[in-house]
Amino acid sequence: MIVHMCYPQAVDAACAHDVTAIAWDVPVDLEDAMLIAQLSDTHLTTGPLAAEPAAGLHRALGRVLGLTPRPDHVVITGDLTEHGRPDEYVALRDVVGRFPLPVHLVAGNHDDRESLLDIFGGTPCLAGGYSAHYVVERPDATLVVLDSLTAGADGAGRLGAEQLAWLDEVLARRPRLPAVVCLHHPPVPVGMPFLDGIRLRDGDDLAKVVAAHPHVVRVLAGHVHRAVTVDFAGTVLTTAPSTWRQSSLALDAAERFGYVLEPTAFLLHLVTKAGCATHTVQVSHAAGLTGGF
């Protein structure tokens, strides 16, 4: 028996009725799809250590341009810079400013909100506005960016009641179109004790909002420096690898946490009215086609 799935909640309904296979509602038509390339944790800086993070971002963006069809949007889910200094955002602007596809920026715990807004406020990278949380409303889908940056929180994040109310209102405006929600901090544990200790502090409150809007087909996060998939609020949470360096897979609290030079990659999300499919696209250690810019 086949059930045609419109949104992730249909999986639960299928399991309840002993359905053994799940299919998309209609064949995937890329003309009607939104393609999102999710890059993350670029950690751009300046000075003697600037070359490797910048090269990692440039290499990933080149790989994005090598895809057919090209994505409609690139989202960088936080930790855009290493220290949040104005000169680091200028360096980021030098890289993404000439990129030919729309790039949307998400604030992370390594970022500085004031410096981010000073350099990118009023530009398409922040949807033309002067806030680090914003919405991009396409004819076929909604892309929402949240700001979980919390100064002095030892790396953890928080959205707050005001931003969550705004998210609820934004999602309620277009309930018949798929929505993707982006933020830096994962709102639920990912099984890595060190990172779970600095996740989103009000993740339960975010879950209540997302669960009330079943057209949210994916929640995108960064922070983990690894590709992780987790059930969340009736939909799916994915975290993207870093374009620079990856976290060690420290699943035991007694294990030392650090960084490893594993291959870099990004996630490609194919969003349609039927739901969302996510692919991992290798960047380093790969022979994939790249484009110049």
* DSSP per residue, 20-45: -EEEESS---GGG-EEEEEE----B-
Q: What is the pLDDT of residue 18?
A: 42
Distance CA 93, CA 79 (A): 14
Q: What is the pLDDT of residue 112?
A: 97
Q: What is the pLDDT of residue 128?
A: 97
Q: What is the pLDDT of residue 104?
A: 98
Directed axis angle between helix 51-65 and helix 86-96, to 10°? Answer: 30
Q: What is the pLDDT of residue 21?
A: 35
3-state secondary structure labels for all residues of 166-214: HHHHHHHHCCCCCEEEECCCCCCCCCCHHHHCCCECCHHHHHHHHHCCC
Q: What is the pLDDT of residue 291?
A: 84
Distance CA 84, CA 61 (A): 21
Intervals of the chain under pLDDT 50: 1-24
Distance CA 196, CA 191 (A): 7
Return the closest-CA partner of residue 144 out of 243, 215, 239, 61: 215
Q: What is the pLDDT of residue 13?
A: 42
Distance CA 101, CA 217 (A): 23
Q: Read off the pLDDT of residues 164-208 as tens digits, 9 standing for 90 and up.
A: 999 999 999 999 999 999 999 999 999 999 999 999 999 999 999
Q: What is the pLDDT of residue 288?
A: 76
